[in-house]
Amino acid sequence: GAVVSQHPSWVICKSGTSVKIECRSLDFQATTMFWYRQFPKQSLMLMATSNEGSKATYEQGVEKDKFLINHASLTLSTLTVTSAHPEDSSFYICSARESALNSPLHFGNGTRLTVT
């Protein structure tokens, strides 16, 4: 079945540095990918919609200069957390869907970011 690979699975970084998270669709092409953020014991909050070849669409309240999204190919979207701070520590999950009608979203295994 369709697989979405997310890398790294976890990362620890110092405050002020930037971290890049990759999301790849391994066996299908995805013109659209989604980035979610999940706080401990909470639901997933949609951060942005990543569109191949164009700018991402950010949800209200999400800083686009803070969370840079690049979707340069049909199989890769990246989320860069710039100048990370401890409050950015969270679980970040990407998702993508095959092009077949009514196929479901497939999720990556997530990236746990810890900013010290």
Partner 1 sequence: AQSVAQPEDQVNVAEGNPLTVKCTYSVSGNPYLFWYVQYPNRGLQFLLKYITGDNLVKGSYGFEAEFNKSQTSFHLKKPSALVSDSALYFCAVRVRYNTDKLIFGTGTRLQVFP
Nearest to 3 by CA among 24, 31, 34: 24
Number of amino acids touching partner 1 (CB under 8 A):
23
Question: Applying CB under 8 A, which of residues 17, 18, 42, 116 lies at the interface with partner 1?
Answer: 42
- Give the other-Cβ count within 10 Å of 111's Cβ: 23
**Contact (CB, 8 A) for 50 and 32:** yes
Question: Applying CB under 8 A, which of residues 13, 49, 89, 114 lies at the interface with partner 1?
Answer: 49
Alpha carbon distance 53, 27 (integer Å): 19
CB of 4 to partner 1, least distance (A): 7
Q: Which residues are at the interface with partner 1 (CB under 8 A)?
A: 4, 6, 9, 32, 34, 42-44, 46, 49, 91, 93, 95, 97, 102, 104-110, 112
